[in-house]
Structure 1
Amino acid sequence: MQRVVEGRWERFAGLFVVLFLAAMVSGCRQAAAPPAASGITRDFKIRGKVLATDVAAGKITLDHEAVPGFMDAMIMPYKLADPSIMSELHPGDKIVADVLVDQIDADPAGGYKNARLTDVVVVAQSKPDYKPAVQFHVPTAGDQVPNFALLNQSGKTIHLDQFKGKVVLMTFIYTRCTLADFCPRMSRNFAEIDKALQGDPATYDKTHLLSVSFDPTYDTPAVLKSYGGAYTGNYTKEKFAHWDFAAPPVKELPEMTQFFDVGVTPDGKALTHSLSTVLIGKDGKVIAWYPTNDWVPSEMVAAVKNAAA
């Protein structure tokens, strides 16, 4: 009998040792670290039909077309970056918007998260008698560009009509922008384009670059001059003969941003905004509009040269 009791204890003790060692091994393993956030925000243009609105969640369900580089055509809910516009959206409305997403890691193949819609524009209403508070215009080839007035880096008022006879490449920025893929990227791209066109004097004389700030209160001529000189690399010696940095008067800013489909929303000390780059022909009409940051300088240089030929 004593032997049986001892045998049971021996088996129990052996099992205890096995479980203890397993726990030790498991405890020594390091938990897999979550993927580090890349800090990169991507901006894609999306078009679709509103199927439902969820005021409590601040989301709309959208039946959207394929978004190159982001996802295939599908039906899915999207969070609104500004839930206050929910009252302006109705099931059946057709919209275009910017969908902002955070890149999970440095490689886009790693996927995206935190998708949210901003700069939503209703392009077809489900209710004929309903009018959104703000009507944004989507620039289309052939549109005549209004003769907007701007104050440039030299403190001089310039008008878009004065560039007729030249091909104008225009983009929208503000100097305090800290999002690397937004204003800084547009300004670096324009600097590369400006340098490339300098190598072709004939084309250089037929073209002009224009960076328009949508922050005229802060972006005074002095601020724009310093900002522009830094991007051209000539600093205080820059003459700005081929590339102007300018801003419209505060009162005329909404009209200009709405025509070029630039959504701007104050966000604390910063501005949440969309992108808009437009190629304007010698006749003052839109040739092409680029609402994202996907274009590359070499392709734009080719487009500018083709328009100037």
Structure 2
Amino acid sequence: MTRRLVVLAAILVLAGCSRDRRYELEGQVLAVDPQRQEVTVKHGDIKGFMPGMTMAFKVGNARELQPRRPGELIKATLVVADSTGHLEDIVRTGEAPLPTAEPGMPPAGWLQPGAPVADAEFVDQTGRARRLSEWRDQTIAVTFVYTRCPLPDFCPLMDRYFAAVQRSLSEDPRLTGRVHLLSVSFDPAYDTPDVLAAHAKKAGAEAATWTWLTGELKAIDAFAAQFGVSIIRDDRPLQEITHSLRTVVLDRSGKVVKIYNGNDWKPEELLATLRAADAS
């Protein structure tokens, strides 16, 4: 009897540890990507989880993605686990005209490998004014995030990946002082230097290797747009942000080596690209 109670208790503990969080989402489908099994949705506030914005969501069951079309109004369940998030139980509720493209959207193309990147101004997590050219003699990786991003496989995943790369860099003395990581926030109204400093500490960032940056809103948007990062805003802070992921490697002369699109890459891939760029 005692053994059976122990087994039952263990099962209950495991079930509690693996319990996903579920939230109701309502919004409009803007784009469908069958290859990545993603749907881009402009959604309203998700009560208890995140404000309204526009972003791409994984769809748990590919069969639910097949009938989706841009312009559809949908209801769905957002399922959030420790390191992933996806939509399920998608129901079409209607249709509406798609919103027109707004000023500030990035061009259809972005900088290609070999293209030089213009200098840019930032403020780091200590409040110090910084310029991109300060790292011109180093190979750098740049990613774009905001600290309030709640989906574990978006900005928090970039934090975890950069932390993993930082650990690998610390174990290779040949790269000490030669490679640097930059996390750029596109939410400067909230992500002040103090907020970035606290977040950097939580992420395990070492100042010698990994710097957190923000800056003037228009300047950040322009810097991000040249790498294909989509950021669309309205007058309400963080209410309408088109949130895409890009991670960029620049060589010591400030030229693009590679742009990673989305989150379909691993820390070891980025590390290999950084090593190759440093050796060239």
TM-score tier (shorter): 0.5 to 0.7
Of 252, 259, 267, 1:289 maps to: 259
**Cα pair 1:141 1:285 within 8 Å, conserved:** yes
| Aligned: 1:231 with 2:203 | yes
Q: Deviations over 1:117-147 (max 9, x none)?
A: 7xxxxxxxxxxxxx98444251310111110
**Cα pair 1:100 1:116 within 8 Å, conserved:** no
Q: For residue 243 of structure 1, what is the amino acid of its counterpart?
A: W
The residue that corresponds to 2:213 in the other structure is 246
Residues 1:250 and 1:116: Cα distance change in structure 2 (over 3 Å): farther
Of 145, 159, 167, 1:173 maps to: 145
Of 166, 169, 184, 1:197 maps to: 169
Output the TM-score relative to the length of structure 2: 0.65
The residue that corresponds to 2:180 in the other structure is 208
Residues 1:167 and 1:81: Cα distance change in structure 2 (over 3 Å): same
**Overall identity of the aligned pairs, in %:** 30
The residue that corresponds to 1:146 in the other structure is 118
Secondary structure of 2:156 counterpart: helix
Displacement after TM superposition at 1:102 (Å): 3.6
The residue that corresponds to 2:76 in the other structure is none
The residue that corresponds to 1:23 in the other structure is none
Secondary structure of 2:245 counterpart: coil
| Aligned: 1:103 with 2:36 | no
**Cα pair 2:229 2:244 within 8 Å, conserved:** yes
Q: In 2, Cα distance between the equivalents of 1:153 and 1:276?
A: 21
Q: In 2, Cα distance between the equivalents of 1:116 and 1:147?
A: 40
The residue that corresponds to 1:217 in the other structure is 189
Displacement after TM superposition at 1:214 (Å): 0.1
RMSD of aligned residue pairs (Cα, Å): 3.4
Q: In 2, Cα distance between the equivalents of 1:169 and 1:69?
A: 24
**Structure 1 unmatched runs, 5+:** 1-36, 41-56, 72-77, 83-97, 105-109, 118-130
Q: Note the 1:110-149 alignment, pairs <5 A.
A: 110-111=61-62, 113=64, 133=103, 134-136=105-107, 137-149=109-121
Displacement after TM superposition at 1:306 (Å): 1.1
Residues 1:141 and 1:226: Cα distance change in structure 2 (over 3 Å): same
Off by >3 Å, runs of 4+ in structure 1? 37-40, 57-60, 67-71, 78-82, 112-117, 131-135, 265-272
**Cα pair 2:55 2:242 within 8 Å, conserved:** no
Q: For residue 252 of structure 2, what is the amino acid of its counterpart?
A: K
Aligned length: 211
Q: Deviations over 1:221-270 (max 9, x none)?
A: 1100000011117xxxx5x1110001121241231122122112458755
Output the TM-score relative to the length of structure 1: 0.59
Q: Deviations over 1:66-117 (max 9, x none)?
A: x64449xxxxxx88749xxxxxxxxxxxxxxx9834422xxxxx42646677
Secondary structure of 2:277 counterpart: helix
Q: In 1, Cα distance between the equivalents of 2:162 and 2:227?
A: 18
Larger Rg: 1
**Cα pair 1:39 1:102 within 8 Å, conserved:** no
Q: For residue 155 of structure 1, what is the amino acid of its counterpart?
A: G
**Cα pair 1:275 1:293 within 8 Å, conserved:** yes
**Cα pair 1:151 1:248 within 8 Å, conserved:** yes
Secondary structure of 1:190 counterpart: helix
Displacement after TM superposition at 1:220 (Å): 0.6
